[in-house]
Structure 1
Amino acid sequence: MRCPCGCGDKIELMILREAHPRWDIRVNEGGYPTLHPSVWRKTGCRSHFWVRDGRVLWCE
C-alpha cells in the first residue's frame, strides 16, 4: 500500500502467519480492511496510524 500521509512511499506489511513482525487483516462485509496492530514507520515520514474499516486513524 502507499503511505496515507502522502509521501508516496510504498509500505509492505507481512500478513503470513509465520512472518515476524506480521499484521492481521480482516475485511468487513463492505470490503473494507482492518489491520492489527498499528502501522508505525520508523524511517522516512515516521507516520503512525491504524487502519479500521478502510479508514486511516492517525496516532498522535
Structure 2
Amino acid sequence: MRCPCGCGDRIELMILREARPRWDVSVNKAGEPSLHPSVWRKSGCRSHFWVREGRILWCE
C-alpha cells in the first residue's frame, strides 16, 4: 500500500501467519479492509495510523 500521509512511500506489511511481525487483515461486507495492529513507520515520514473499515485513523 502507499503511505496515506501523501509522502508516496510504499509500505509492505506481512500478512502470512508465520511471519513476525505480521498484520491481520479483515474485510467487512461492504469490502472495506481493516488492519490489526496499527501501522507505525519508524523511518521516513514516521506516520502512525490504524486502518478501520477502509478509513485511516491517525494516532497522535
Matched, 1:48 2:55: no
How many residues align? The count is 60
Letter in 2 for 1:11: I
TM superposition score normalised by structure 2 = 0.99
Identical aligned residues as a percent: 82
1 CA distance for matches of 2:25 and 2:9?
Answer: 20
Give the counterpart letter for 2:51 in structure 1: V
Structure 1: 5+ residue stretches without partners: none
How far is 1:21 from its partner?
0.2
Tell me the SS of whatever aligns to 2:30: coil
Structure 2 residue runs without a partner (length 5+): none
For 1:36, the equivalent position in structure 2 comes to: 36
Scaled by the length of structure 1, the TM-score of the pair is 0.99
Please report the RMSD computed on the Cα atoms of aligned residues, expressed in angstroms. Answer: 0.2
Q: In the TM superposition, what whole-angstrom CA distance separates every residue of 1:14-60 from its partner, at most 9, and x where no partner exists?
A: 00000000000000000000000000000000000000000000000
Counterpart code for 2:19: A
Q: Confirm whether residue 9 of structure 1 aligns to residue 9 of structure 2.
A: yes
* 1:40 maps to amino acid: W
